[in-house]
Structure 1
Amino acid sequence: MRIGILTGGGDVPGLNPCIKQVVYRAAEDGHEVIGIRRGWQGLLAYNPDDPATHDECIKPLTKIMVRTIDRTGGTFLHTSRTKPSRTAWKDAPDFLRPSGKYDEDEVNDFTDHVIKALGHMKLDVLIPIGGEDTLGYAARVHSEGFPVVSIPKTMDNDVPGTEYCIGFSTAISRSVLFINQMRSAVGSHERIGVLELFGRHSGATSLVAGLLSGADRVIISEVPFDIDKLAAFLVEDR
């Protein structure tokens, strides 16, 4: 079996160890792993008719090649936030752009090209590692008939169907450390410290970090709140 693997979206410390373990397990079972560089951008930039783009977009992964990648954070395959189903002409590679006049800001769906690229790479299955956007497009690729096995990776811990994502534990530990470090300054000046954490529409990071750090109040996006009542609570807490 020939397996493709890519990383998309933000980088987290667990990506390289994950890639390494996929390669090791695949090698033990006699499978070949092909790394796709820069997430979905690597598939968008892959031109089946231009061999010069192949080495730029993909690389065969062996146990020797990935042996030490887990010693550093981030992703050695690199990443991007490209979403081929919503890509403007100006962000598309030259060979995909029309020859005549066109609106550079017009958004296009290049999924047909992605499927063609996957076929030209002779991949049997694709393993995308990413969060909501990366795996959202992975679901689109799967719906087009190409086999996909996704690995959730997001500091927000907001991927449906799983209780744990690569990167979440680091986000929590770093958030708790930062909150505890802020206590000295806030306490010394007798002030109220308000810290905003990431998460968009998911309050998992704020909720767990607030619980572990002993925060007095935690606001999460899933629960509406009244700013006046919150202000009164904070004054009372002080």
Structure 2
Amino acid sequence: MEKGRRGRIGILTGGGDVPGLNPAIRAVTLRALREGFDVVGIRRGWAGLVELRREAGLEDRDWVVPLTAELVERHAYSGGTFLHSSRTRPSAVPARDVPAHLRDRYTAEKNDLTDEVIANLEALGIDYLVPMGGDDTLSYAVELGRRGVPVVAVPKTMDNDVPGTDYCMGFSTCVSRVIALARQVTSSAASHERLVVLEVFGRYAGFTALLPTFAGAAQRCLIPEHEFEIERVAELLAADRAANPEGWAVCLVSEGAKPVGGEMVFKGSETDQYGHAKLGGIGEQVASALKKVVPQHTGGKAVGMISMNLG
């Protein structure tokens, strides 16, 4: 593959898939080609730059694909990412995930393969790297930048939690889907005059609960940035339900929310390569607590509860 007169750009996508990734790949590729660069896609995020066999270089099509105008146009209007993705963190690869051709050199429980990543970028002739991802994917991009690799990052996260950005690719879809799902469940809530507790994703940021609430999907929301008192939440929701002629109210609960003096709730102790355990379960805890406390504000009358997890 002949190198463009202005150099070669590499694109990769990491973390969760969101609508907008393939159009973003298309946009970068078409502009780069027009400006005199050639473009290659790295398959499966950072894993591609770990797994690549340098002797094969651009011919290792398991991990590298030349990006042409025809190819990116073909995928531009499909969801997800045609380059595929992973949650690999090259600076902390567990021994079991070290590629077979590197295991004689990397034998620790956790291995930093950044030197291999940089050597692979050089072998591929990549002059500029464009990673598209969220907080995890781009945090490793920062490490490469500090090592002298020219990086231009594209923020992508449904959680909208990439520092230094206001609005990330994927976030608008997340908000619209939370709103749609919240509205779907209110028909059942109205029929039985219930309270609804919907747990939504977002990790340590509350945007995915806060913005849908602003948009009218719920009367209240609980977010990681502000600890809550269940007694006050119960009082407010009871008042919201009483004020609604159809007798229902909705509370969106971010998966990272926690009560005053409490801790975030995790589904287990297992962590990914970025050190994150999977959050989940706070919605059920809130619903259970509300079922006990709300009757204090309804004259002792029990109130039905609908609890769902959208994470």
Q: TM-score range by the shorter chain?
A: over 0.9
Unaligned segments of structure 2, at least 5 residues: 1-6, 242-311
Shift, 1:52, TM fit: 9.4
Q: Aligned partner of 1:76: which letter? A: F
Q: Distance in 2 between matches of 1:151 and 1:52?
A: 23
Shift, 1:216, TM fit: 1.1
Give CA deviations for 1:34-71 in whole Å, capped at 9, x if unaligned. 10000000000012134597221101101011112122
Alignment of 1:126 onto 2:129 = yes
Shift, 1:208, TM fit: 0.4
Aligned residues: 235
- Aligned pairs (5 A) from 1:1-238: 1-50=7-56, 54-98=60-104, 106-238=109-241
Q: Distance in 2 between matches of 1:166 and 1:192?
A: 32
Q: Aligned partner of 1:82: which letter? A: T
Identity fraction in percent: 49
Q: Which has the higher contact order (CA 8 A, sep 6+)?
A: 1
Distance 1:63-1:6 versus aligned 2 partners, 3 A rule:
same
| Paired residue secondary structure (1:98) | coil
Larger radius of gyration: 2
User: 1:45·1:53 contact (CA, 8 Å) conserved in 2?
Assistant: no
| Paired residue secondary structure (2:65) | strand
| Paired residue secondary structure (1:127) | strand
User: 2:57·2:124 contact (CA, 8 Å) conserved in 1?
Assistant: no
Q: Aligned partner of 1:161: which letter? A: G
Higher strand share: 2
Task: Name the TM-score, length of structure 2 as normaliser.
Answer: 0.73
Higher helix share: 1
User: 2:13·2:44 contact (CA, 8 Å) conserved in 1?
Assistant: yes
Shift, 1:235, TM fit: 2.2
**Aligned-pair RMSD on alpha carbons?**
1.6
Distance 1:178-1:43 versus aligned 2 partners, 3 A rule:
same
Task: Name the TM-score, length of structure 1 as normaliser.
Answer: 0.95
Unaligned segments of structure 1, at least 5 residues: none
Q: Distance in 2 between matches of 1:187 and 1:125?
A: 55
